[in-house]
Chains A and B, each alone.
Chain A
Amino acid sequence: METDFPLYLIPLLPLAGAAINLLVGKRISRGGVAAIACTSVAMAAVLGWKAAWLLFQSEPSAILTARFFDGDWIHATESHGIGSLHIQAGLLLDRLSAVMVLVITTVGFLIHLYSTAYMEEDKNFNRYFGYLNLFTGAMLILVLGDSLPVTFVGWEGVGLCSYLLIGFWFDKEANAYAGRKAFIVNRVGDFGFLLGMFLIFSATSTLSYRDLASQQSVVALHHVWFAKASIATVAGLLLFVGATGKSAQLPLYVWLPDAMAGPTPVSALIHAATMVTAGVYMIARLHFLFEIDPFVLAVIASVGALTALFAATIGITQKPIKKILAYSTVSQLGFMFIGVGTKAYDAGVFHLVTHAFFKAGLFLGAGSIMHALSGEEDVTKMGGLRAKMPITRWTFLVYCLAIAGIFPFAGFFSKDAILAGAWSFDVAEMPEWPHWLGHAIYFVGLSAAFMTAFYMFRAYFLVFHGEFRGDHHTWDHAHESPPAMTLPLVVLAIGSAALGFLGMPEAFHKDWNLFEQWLVPANFAPMVGEEHASTEWALMAVATVVAGAGIFLAYRLYYRGISPTAVAIKDALPRLYKVVFNKYWVDEIYDSSVVRPLRSLAFVLWKGVDALFIDLILVRGSAFVVDLVGRGVRYLQSGDVQRYMAAVLLGTAAIIAVSANWVACTGAPFDVEQHGADVTVRAHGMPSGPAARPLEFSFDFGDGTPPVKQSTPTVRHHYDVHGRRRLTVNVLDPRWDIRSSDSRTVVIP
């Protein structure tokens, strides 16, 4: 194995591009800026392919490693109870991270290329490309890191870039609220990640992935932490909280739709194709940790399924095209979590790859549409664009077919693999979970898939078919986008159409699932309980029918425009008897049986999660606390120096009072040792020593005998009575002249 492969160049090249563009970009021509940005990512992509080729030629477990510099990056010597810590700024390329690197650099390059045309007129051209490069570099560090801290550098880096790029379009107040929401939600996620990391380290004394995967570490992670939960359980749940933050799962999904305020290519790269998949990648990377307690996996799969369904219901009701795509992203991420949660890691990662292509394509297509319509986002104000924008239209159709899961487009294979994994999910190890959990997740996923097909084609038909519903001025201006924009669309469309064949199901042809063969042997344990070919065929058939039904429904309702009922009445008067009735029928049924319940479900969830949890507790709650403290500070920090001195004095007095009182009061608490009617009372006592003034104890046994007064803390007493008696110890501390007491009840037999 070639060990001197310059792996570190893969993230460093985009970072160098970022440095050049951000620092001296103003002095470079636009062409130069674009060239630097695109070339650096292209070179990283070439290196990534070269590295992947090296892996391909070697045995499955081969890896490439590199370090940014020699010696330890984080280093700490051993101390009380915790082992020494040596972490290098190391990179690790195995087959899993290779997949991620290829997706990031390839899709990333296409988006860079697209941006050169899309952002043409922006006056902050260099800054935009600087951030885009910075983001790519950080994301590459995230996936290439060979330990949790290195990954965390990338994790924080991409979060920062995301925040900065959302801010790119933020004007002062309008979106400040959304920014705050994104910030708070991501902080909650990071909190989970950090705590999980600390916890893992405290148990295993290592944070590097390869050491963590060792038998010794896995055993250490099994240790019970508190209650019945092992360290792996708690750490796994904490890391999952981190994943829900970054990958927009319930209940922390709310920031992602708001993040669409940024430029469209940014949405494509960060908020659809790459960054949001970090959580999925992290779980696949640490799968051995999550597998220790199947409970954690079940939680992951369930949250994923709920998110997939929930976001899909919202997707149906959205009008702005970017919002539809945003909710669809949340929903598809839910699918990926179903995959990794049901141990179908290869399926989850496979969906991540295909999704990166078709979702990036969808966003870029949406960008192309909005570009043509001078920024119009509302799909109800579009229509008929197929005549004006043929390339955008055909590629968009391919993406829609892919995301809907129609054979032979990519989404079909990956979604099928996930659903098959869910169907055969084995919950035998978890008696507390119902045995039909896998099936339930499957059906929830299936419903989400139906809705996905429906709302994607709703958008497609509304945009490209029917009559244009905006003003004619906009229509006259509408045009196909320049080649720099359509070329990435075409490439992504080819990917969306063809990539699926890398992951052919077993049922099609034995041993043709190249993706599984690439990933599974070295990284994951093979799936247990593979279904029979017949079951697999059945699952595929069901999925296809369901997706077809969704498309058909969308076709019936939206093919000719927004108001199918009205259009139908006008068009089909002669055949009123049959068609209108049917249309009416479909529409009514759809409305009362699908839309209304879904809308109310979505409303309840939205109220519950968004309005109550996120909005009220997190955003408003924190604003309230900040405001409260602000008022307090405003009152106390009045500028009057004498209040400051009073605070010093009060602080000192409080320390003295509390401490003195405590010192005096520690004597009274006592332990009781009881043998029948004989009790021995031991007060905690203090102080002792020649110079100390002893405490004065008074023991009242509650049986009518006079209290025993002495200066030693231990006393024996024999009760002559029966029943419950109140035992009281009074203590006088003569040093402070503070009295304290403690009492409890004893039962004399």
Chain B
Amino acid sequence: MIPVDHYLLVAGLLFAIGVVGVLLRRNALIVLMSIELMLNAANLTLLAFGRARGDSNFQALAFLVVAVAAAEAAVGLAIVVGIFRNRHTTNLDELTLMKH
């Protein structure tokens, strides 16, 4: 059996990739996807721990996270659409009407 540490490592890497994507990519949609990646990393962590501990509650929690991620994606896409209608761009660099 693959030890739990390996799963955690993969999840950590996934999380880090998500973070890098969030911070570096300029397109709002890609950033949104990177955040989903972070949530999935968290899910993987949960499931890995769940399997190691033999506790099925973890799976329920993972489903909740998936549901929330879906809701978040829906709202996020709506906001991206809204901003595209107003500004004709989804480039985060250009969204600086408000600052300082």
> Is there a contact between chains A and B in the complex with CB atoms less than 8 Å apart?
yes
Q: Which of A122-130, A159-167, A262-270, A631-639 contacts B (4 or more CB under 8 A)?
A: A631-639
B1 within 8 A of A: no
Distance in angstroms between the alpha carbons of A634 and B100 in the assembled complex: 5
B residues 7-33 in Cβ contact with A at 8 Å: 19, 22-24, 26, 31
- Which listed residue (B19, B24, B95) contacts A641, Cβ 8 A? B95
Contact call A638/B99, Cβ cutoff below 8 A: yes
Q: Which residues of A contact B19 (CB under 8 A)?
A: 649
A557 to chain B minimum Cβ distance, whole angstroms, is 58
Distance in angstroms between the alpha carbons of A633 and B100 in the assembled complex: 6
Q: Which residues of B contact A633 (CB under 8 A)?
A: 100
- Which listed residue (A634, A639, A642, A646) contacts B98, Cβ 8 A? A639
Contact call A645/B22, Cβ cutoff below 8 A: yes
Q: Which residues of A contact B23 (CB under 8 A)?
A: 642, 645-646, 649
Contact status of A637 and B100, CB under 8 A, knowing A645-B22, A645-B23, A649-B19: yes
Number of interface residues of B (CB under 8 A): 14
A640 within 8 A of B: yes
B26 to chain A minimum Cβ distance, whole angstroms, is 8
Distance in angstroms between the alpha carbons of A638 and B94 in the assembled complex: 11
A446 to chain B minimum Cβ distance, whole angstroms, is 58
B97 within 8 A of A: yes
Q: How many residue pairs bridge A and B at CB < 8 Å?
A: 30
B68 within 8 A of A: no
Contact call A640/B93, Cβ cutoff below 8 A: yes
Distance in angstroms between the alpha carbons of A633 and B98 in the assembled complex: 13
Q: Which residues of A contact B86 (CB under 8 A)?
A: none
Contact status of A639 and B95, CB under 8 A, knowing A633-B100, A634-B100: yes
Distance in angstroms between the alpha carbons of A638 and B23 in the assembled complex: 15
Q: Which residues of A contact B56 (CB under 8 A)?
A: none
- Which listed residue (A637, A642, A646, A649) contacts B99, Cβ 8 A? A637
Distance in angstroms between the alpha carbons of A97 and B33 in the assembled complex: 71
Q: Which residues of B contact A646 (CB under 8 A)?
A: 23
Chain A residue nearest in CB terms to B24: A642
Contact call A639/B22, Cβ cutoff below 8 A: no
A692 to chain B minimum Cβ distance, whole angstroms, is 19
Proximity string of chain A (615-652) to chain B, C-beta cutoff 8 Å, 1 when within and 0 when not: 00000000000000000011001111110011001000
Contact call B22/A642, Cβ cutoff below 8 A: yes
Chain B residue nearest in CB terms to A634: B100
A168 to chain B minimum Cβ distance, whole angstroms, is 32
Contact call B92/A641, Cβ cutoff below 8 A: yes
B residues 46-100 in Cβ contact with A at 8 Å: 92-93, 95-100
Distance in angstroms between the alpha carbons of A646 and B96 in the assembled complex: 16
Distance in angstroms between the alpha carbons of A639 and B99 in the assembled complex: 4
A691 to chain B minimum Cβ distance, whole angstroms, is 14
A437 to chain B minimum Cβ distance, whole angstroms, is 55
Contact call A640/B100, Cβ cutoff below 8 A: no
B78 to chain A minimum Cβ distance, whole angstroms, is 17
Q: Which residues of B contact A642 (CB under 8 A)?
A: 22-24, 26, 31, 92
Q: Which residues of B contact A639 (CB under 8 A)?
A: 95-100
Distance in angstroms between the alpha carbons of A634 and B26 in the assembled complex: 21
27 contacts between A and B (CB under 8 A): A633-B100, A637-B99, A637-B100, A638-B96, A638-B99, A639-B95, A639-B96, A639-B97, A639-B98, A639-B99, A639-B100, A640-B92, A640-B93, A640-B95, A640-B96, A641-B95, A642-B22, A642-B23, A642-B24, A642-B26, A642-B31, A642-B92, A645-B22, A645-B23, A646-B23, A649-B19, A649-B23
4 A-B pairs closest in CB distance: A639-B96, A639-B99, A634-B100, A637-B100
A639-B95, A641-B95 known, 6 other contacts, Cβ within 8 Å: A639-B98, A639-B100, A642-B23, A642-B24, A645-B22, A649-B23
